Amino acid sequence: MKTIRLTMAQALVRFLENQYIAYDGMEHPFVRGVLMLPGHGNVVGLGQALSQEAKRMEIYQGKNEQGQAHVAVAFAKHKKRKQIMAATSSVGPGAANMVTAAATATANNIPVLLLPGDVYACRQPDPVLQQIEQTHDLSISTNDAFRAVCRYFDRIQRPEQLMSAMLSAFRVLTDQADTGAVCIAIPQDVEGEAYDYPETFLAKRVWEVERRPATGIAIEKAAAVIRKAKKPMLVCGGGVRYGEAHEEFRTFAETLGIPFGETQAGKSAIVWDHPLNLGGMGVTGCSAANEIAKEADCIIGVGTRYTDFTTSSKWLFKEDASFVNINISGFQAFKLDAVPVIADAKEALPALLAALSGYRASYNGEIERAVAGWNQEYRRLAGISFGPGYEPEVKDGNSDSAFTFVEDMGEALTQTEALAAINAQIHPGDSVIGSSGSLPGCMQRMWRAGSPDTYNMEYGYSCMGYEVSGALGVKLAVGEDHEVYSMVGDGSFVMLHSELLTAVQEGIKINVCLFDNASYGCINNLQKAQGNETLCTERRFRNRDTGKHDGAFMPVDFAAIAKGYGCVAYTVRTMGELKWALEDAKKVKDIPVLFDIKVLPKSMTEGYGAWWRVGSVEVSDCPGNQAAWQDHLNHVKDAKKY
């Protein structure tokens, strides 16, 4: 056997350089590049290896470990899990910063490779800088925190362990049914230690992604259930997009006359104006999808995890509705006591369609009426403007905050009219990204995707701080031909926007649409709707008289912050300013753009017949809490128990 002597880190980089993925007759490198925030733990061993061995892979300098890892997550998500980025950090705090991003990846079943530095395997210099000493177990380091949030975890204690570890790592990274974050912890002494690695380990390796067909028995059982249904409904989940089953899903729906609702991950698999597209469903869904879902007698889930937002905490569907689930994951396919079809959607849908020959759903105008009703509501939302006589709909019974905002911050747009205007003015082929706050609800309801796969919403983990970093990841995925727009609230922007500076450094244009309502708007809504007083959910000064944060709203010039980084930035307070800024920004090349959009609090969309179980308070002297608890009891009795 021929061998070559390399350090562990050199062998790691050479291995990454030679990993390829093949699917549907296509083949390309699987690892696009590495995002690196150097420190002790990765700057010496791995840093030297990247300088020497990285030939094809691109190297990017991260600014925050969580942020750079979120770039990798968004990149792989937009690449439909067919290409990844790796992210590496130092030991200690640097590694710990990536734990949140690892959880984001795993919750969304997105492959990302994390390479945190680790403390010395030899233990000779212990305790080293930033090392945690657990007196009951000296083998524990910060990196053990990754075990809870990764699909696969390993620690390279000896250089020869790299071989088995990386083969297991890529088995998981290329497993479409059970992928997520993979953490390979690399002790800083082992990184520099050498071993005679077999050339076969370092040679080109192609990971085949094979489509799993459905069994005849599964198709037969699923078809029997669907044939009994008069008003079935499809759920378009992320698996439709990741499995590239767009056409198969559309053909299935059209041939059988079955309408479909979209999950956050499935949205934009089919363009918004398809006559059977009911739009987003569930807690952040629109009226059309939720109305049809409540009356459907059979739910056909395709590539969905059935999160509580999709199922409205399992309350949305009829108690006697049947379920058929098409999913490559057996775990997901069995949810809600469904008839499981454990298969790739692109394979299963045509087979199931053939088994349903002659069948057609028995709708009689319900779909058209539901869609028409939502379109009317959309026009109302898109046209809501602040002006004389405008009364914001505030569930907590206190509308003062909306008008105080205008007094403190200046003229304000409504969130819904601003979002609709952006949607109308950008190119249909441009991509949008979001994650947290009230914007995911407004976007799932209102965003009209004019081209497939242009909607990238991280809502499996709803991680604040993902939006700006994620926009850079999406831009790396789509290239220079398409614009990327990040929809982010002021709270999430403040929490993490580190990779905006990376975009400046790299000369990469992303468009950050920052909706500033001086609050954590959706959480304030939840807080107040449950009968509670506002507490830490608005960006206000502390009042010296009351001791509470109920003073004036804090004005923040986010445009000035962006300009300080080197971005082009616009301050927007009117519709005219918004439209002009959007058009003017299209002329900008190779520089990030930020739109500081001042929007009125409480001007987001409502719930449209959904319910969300949120842990209401059973015992309280507050009448609002008592009412919320009674509402909880009224809903939970009708929710499915499995």
Interatomic CA distance for residues 592 and 562, integer angstroms: 9
The token duo for 130 is 């930033």
8 Å CB contact between 605 and 381? yes
Tell me, what's the pLDDT at 397?
41
Contact of 114 with 98, CB cutoff 8 Å: yes
> In sequence order, what are the residues at sequence separation of 6 or more whose Cβ sits closer than 8 angstroms to the Cβ of residue 424?
none
Q: What is the mean pLDDT of residues 243-252?
A: 98
Q: Does the pLDDT value for residue 351 go beyond 80?
A: yes
Q: Confidence band (pLDDT; 50, 70, 90) for 398? A: very low
Query: What is the 8-class DSSP label of residue 477?
Result: H
**Distance in angstroms (rounded) separating the CA atoms of residues 270 and 246:** 7
Give 329's Cβ-side CA count (13 Å radius). 21
Please state, in angstroms and rounded to a whole number, the distance separating the CA atoms of residues 275 and 546: 55
Query: Same CATH fold, 216-368 and 3-208?
Result: yes
The candidate with the shortest Cα–Cα distance to 150, out of 188, 191, 100, is 100
The helix/strand/coil state of 161 is: helix
- What pLDDT score was predicted for residue 232? 98
Q: Which of 30-39, 468-477, 632-641 has the least mean pLDDT? A: 632-641
| Contact indicator for 88, 118 with CB cutoff of 8 Å | no
Joined together, the tokens standing for residue 353 give 């369609």
CATH number for the domain running over 3-208: 3.40.50.970
What residues have CB less than 8 Å from 24, skipping those under 6 apart? Answer: 211, 244
Q: In this structure, what is the dihedral angle of CA atoms 624, 628, 631, 633, given to the nearest 10 degrees? A: -130
- Which residue ranges make up each domain of the chain? 3-208, 216-368, 384-598, 614-642
Residue 395 confidence (pLDDT) above 50? no
Q: Strand runs (DSSP E) across 482-618, as ranges?
A: 484-489, 511-516, 568-572, 593-598
Q: What is the pLDDT of residue 165?
A: 98
CA dihedral over 325, 329, 334, 336, signed as positive or negative:
negative
Q: How confident is the model at residue 394 (pLDDT cuts 50, 70, 90)?
A: very low
Lowest mean pLDDT among 7-11, 84-88, 281-285, 548-552: 548-552
Distance from C-alpha of 554 to C-alpha of 519, rounded to nearest angstrom: 10
Under 8 Å between Cβ of 381 and 416: yes
- Which of the four CATH numbers 3.40.50.1820, 3.40.50.1220, 3.90.650.10, 3.40.50.10190 does domain 216-368 have? 3.40.50.1220
Cβ atoms 309, 612 nearer than 8 A: yes
User: Span 18-28, mean pLDDT?
Assistant: 97
Cα dihedral across residues 540, 411, 494, 466: positive or negative: positive
C-beta separation of 393 from 401 below 8 A: no
Q: Which two tokens stand for residue 35?
A: 């995002």
Q: At what angle do helices 216-227 and 345-355 cross, to 10 degrees?
A: 60
Which CATH number does 384-598 carry? 3.40.50.970
Tell me which of 147-151, 251-255, 358-362, 536-540 is least confident.
536-540
Res. 403 pLDDT band, cuts 50 70 90: low
Cα 281 from chain centroid (whole Å):
16
Res 399 pLDDT > 50: no
Per-residue model confidence as pLDDT tens digits over 193-225: 999 999 999 999 999 999 999 999 999 999 999
* 503 pLDDT tier (thresholds 50, 70, 90): very high
What are the tokens at 26?
A: 């296509």
Buried b (16+ CB within 10 A) or exposed e, 173-211: bbbbbebbbbbbbbbbbbbbbebebeeebbeebebebeb
Query: Which pair of tokens denotes residue 121?
Result: 């395997």
pLDDT higher than 50, residue 370:
yes
Give the model's pLDDT for residue 396.
44
Query: How many CB atoms within 10 Å of residue 634?
Result: 10
Tokens in use for 59?
């190297």
Q: Name which of 289-303, 481-495, 496-510, 595-609 the model is least confident about.
A: 595-609
Where is pLDDT greater, at 267 or 642?
267
Average pLDDT rounded to a whole number, residues 558-580? 96
* Whole-number pLDDT of residue 392: 53
Which pLDDT score, from 0 to 100, does residue 606 have? 87
CA 157 to CA 377: how far, in whole Å? Answer: 60
Q: CB neighbours (10 Å) of residue 589?
A: 8
DSSP E strands in 143-180: the ranges are 152-155
Task: Give pLDDT tens digits for 267-283.
Answer: 999 999 999 999 999 99
Q: Which of 335, 266, 339 is nearest to 640 (CA)?
A: 335
Q: What is the DSSP letter of 223?
A: H
**Mean per-residue pLDDT, 374-385:** 94
DSSP structure class, residue 336? G
The yes-or-no verdict on residue 615 having pLDDT over 70 is: yes
| 290-320 per-position pLDDT tens digit | 999 999 999 999 999 999 999 999 999 999 9
> Over 70: is that where the pLDDT of 186 sits?
yes
Q: Token digits for 99? A: 């734990």
Going from the C-alpha of 458 to that of each of 3, 264, 429, the distances in angstroms are: 43, 8, 19
Quote the pTM value: 0.95
Per the CB < 8 A criterion, the answer to whether 29 and 20 are in contact is yes
Nearest to 538 by CA among 522, 556, 523, 518: 518
Those residues with Cβ within 8 angstroms of residue 210's Cβ, 6 or more apart along the chain or in another chain: none
pLDDT at 31 over 50: yes
- The pLDDT score that the predictor gives to residue 402 is 63
Which residue matches tokens 């970093």?
Answer: 469
CA neighbor of 286 nearest in space, from 364, 368, 377: 377
Greatest alpha-carbon pair distance for the chain in Å reads 82
User: Which regions of 318-466 does DSSP assign to beta strands (E)?
Assistant: 322-327, 339-342, 431-434, 455-457
The pLDDT confidence band at residue 638, using thresholds 50, 70 and 90, is: confident
Neighbours of 308 (CB within 10 A): 16
- Segment 138-161 mean pLDDT: 97
Distance CA 330, CA 335 (A): 9
For residue 452, is the peptide bond before it cis, meaning its omega torsion is within 30 degrees of 0? no
% of the chain exceeding 90 in pLDDT: 83
pLDDT value at position 390? 54
- Please give the pLDDT value at position 538: 83
